[in-house]
Structure 1
Amino acid sequence: MSENLQQFLQLIVILLLINQNFSKFEFTNVKCNSLDKQFDDFEYCYLKSVNRTYKYVSIKVNLFKTPVTKVKVNIAMKKRFNGYRPFLFNITVDACRFLSDPSSNPQANYFYGFLTTHTNINHTCPFVTDIIFEKLSAEFINYRVSKILPFPEGDYLLETNWIAYDINRATAKFYGTLS
């Protein structure tokens, strides 16, 4: 009986090990660019490596012409295949309409889930203060890209274009590796 119990426990351990996902996300770079310096500018945009296992991204955008009442965001995910090629998502969302009902667009809601606990963009339009993304960690991203919606291994680029009043005002590019 104890031998059967031991074999049963070994089987359970093996099944648990097989079921575990060993993927790991790591930021490799972040680039921010203001396309209209009279409308907005980045006070800071950086990737900070605290130690070998903890990295985070912080961004602060100063808005000079407030209130901003008409905003669209284009989100394009790209995967590296001899250069970055389109992969899975390329959507444009009316941010004001989306923020009034986040469940209206499941794809945008997935990406918004990356930011909700790390940003001050948690209200509907108009935007009257600076926009801040603070300490968005690789561990948080890792959970979302390995548990919620698993992605294949590789190098990725998440490119965002921030469009106000139908003019592209800023871009933010997030580079990372999933291994």
Structure 2
Amino acid sequence: MMLLLMLIADLLILSVHGWIVYKTTKIECFPNARYIRNATCGIKAVNRYRSHTNMESDIVNKLRNVSLNLQIFLRNSANKFKPFLVNVTANLCSILDKRNFPAYTTIVMNILKEVSNVNHSCPFTHPLSTHQQKRLIVKNLYMDEKFMPIVPPLGLYKIDFNFLEGYPYDDVGTVILYIQVTDVKEFKLRTKAPKFVYSTIIYKTLSIECKYNPEILTNVTCQLKPINWQKSVCIWDADIPHSLKNISIHLQLFKIYGANNFLPFLINTTLNMCDVLSKRSFSVYGKILFTILKETSNINHQCPHEEHLSLYNLYVDARLVPVTLPLGIYKAVVRFLEGYPQVFIGTTVLNLEAMEKRERRGKVNKN
């Protein structure tokens, strides 16, 4: 299992994405001796822009139900690592059995298939199994640009892969990768690869759909107001007969692909809005949410919320998006829940288009 951790671990090892290079500068491995023994993990430099990760381990206890918690951190100007976009837990056995298809499934499956012997369904090994079955191996693992759905900001990242067994979770091992994302200017003179161009991207809301629980929300207004050909804003308001004391938000993002189907894309997370508003939670999505609510709504104070809620002139500002998303059509599904056990409040579905910003041409005077 240590290998699995290692194989995914280097999912961000090194690659050239346009002119962006992802290079692993350091790796740390912390196996649990009750599951993993004889573990080795190291980095082998290939050239100035690439390094390979090699990992091996023996499994001494059968792994039947393996999960992975993946967290990404970005170092800030104060030299501290702060959460960045991803904090997700997924069941790897369900992914390998193709019973579950979370946002990161395609990346995980492609990596497992190409660089390791972790390419079969659970369980992993048995104490009486053969040596070949017990040994997990990852060789020459690096980050190929085809695995990267987005181009992240430049900087130093820390990626934590924490592998867990069963439920309640029991620690199997942890791999920590430090990855430098840089713009290699010298490389431009030594390659014939097409230059990656950072365009000015805008996010236009195409439509909005709202569903709500009439026992919690009344007099609901949900509409889209066009501003110009590349911008539209959302207007939403509702009355609350009873106060809301503990609101949670479940956010999912989907992207449309060639078959005209929406497939999961990167984000599938739940956060407590009351913790965000009271500044008890500091997730990257929480900070974005807090900034949006502060600027465009009356939901700018701590819980509880009562009487009337309103959002006005709401749109996706590119300044609030920490990464540049690929061009295309997206669907953001935002589900609101109250209390615990959670009670459904409502759902808002936004269809957006990520497109290049273009200046509108003026009329040509033929005279």
User: Partner of 1:106: helix, strand, or coil?
Assistant: coil
In structure 2, the residue matched to 1:85 is 82
User: Partner of 1:78: helix, strand, or coil?
Assistant: strand
User: Partner of 1:122: helix, strand, or coil?
Assistant: coil
- Displacement after TM superposition at 1:130 (Å): 2.5
Paired with 1:114 and 1:125, the residues of 2 have a C-alpha distance of 17
Paired with 1:107 and 1:95, the residues of 2 have a C-alpha distance of 11
For residues 109-150 of structure 1, the C-alpha deviation after alignment (integer angstroms, 9 at most, x for no partner) is 334444431111211101113222211125x2x4534xx321
Structure 2: gaps of 5 or more residues: 1-16, 126-133, 183-367
In structure 2, the residue matched to 1:156 is 157
Kept after mapping to 2: 8 A contact 1:47/1:57:
yes
- Displacement after TM superposition at 1:51 (Å): 3.4
* Residues 113 and 102 of structure 1: CA distance in aligned 2, closer, same or farther (over 3 Å): farther
Superposition misfits of 4+ residues, deviation over 6 angstroms: none
User: Partner of 1:177: helix, strand, or coil?
Assistant: strand
Greater helix content: 1
Paired with 1:93 and 1:57, the residues of 2 have a C-alpha distance of 23
**Partner of residue 105 from structure 1, selected from 99, 102, 107:** 102
Amino acid at match of 1:144: F
Q: Structure 1 residue 137 and structure 2 residue 132: aligned?
A: no
Paired with 1:115 and 1:87, the residues of 2 have a C-alpha distance of 24
Kept after mapping to 2: 8 A contact 1:102/1:109:
no
TM-score, with normalisation over the residues of structure 2? 0.39
Kept after mapping to 1: 8 A contact 2:112/2:119:
no
Amino acid at match of 1:109: T
TM-score, with normalisation over the residues of structure 1? 0.76
Structure 1: gaps of 5 or more residues: 1-19
User: Partner of 1:88: helix, strand, or coil?
Assistant: strand
Kept after mapping to 2: 8 A contact 1:63/1:130:
yes
Amino acid at match of 1:149: I
Amino acid at match of 2:120: H
Identity of aligned residues (%): 21
Kept after mapping to 2: 8 A contact 1:115/1:136:
no
Q: Relative contact order: is structure 1 or structure 2 higher (C-alpha 8 Å, sep ≥ 6)?
A: 1
Paired with 1:106 and 1:115, the residues of 2 have a C-alpha distance of 16
In structure 2, the residue matched to 1:120 is 117
Kept after mapping to 2: 8 A contact 1:60/1:132:
yes
Paired with 1:115 and 1:71, the residues of 2 have a C-alpha distance of 14
Q: Structure 1 residue 53 and structure 2 residue 49: aligned?
A: yes
User: Partner of 1:37: helix, strand, or coil?
Assistant: coil
Paired with 2:47 and 2:99, the residues of 1 have a C-alpha distance of 35
Paired with 2:18 and 2:101, the residues of 1 have a C-alpha distance of 30
* Residues 74 and 121 of structure 1: CA distance in aligned 2, closer, same or farther (over 3 Å): same
* Residues 84 and 42 of structure 1: CA distance in aligned 2, closer, same or farther (over 3 Å): farther
Paired with 2:164 and 2:150, the residues of 1 have a C-alpha distance of 27
Kept after mapping to 2: 8 A contact 1:27/1:174:
yes
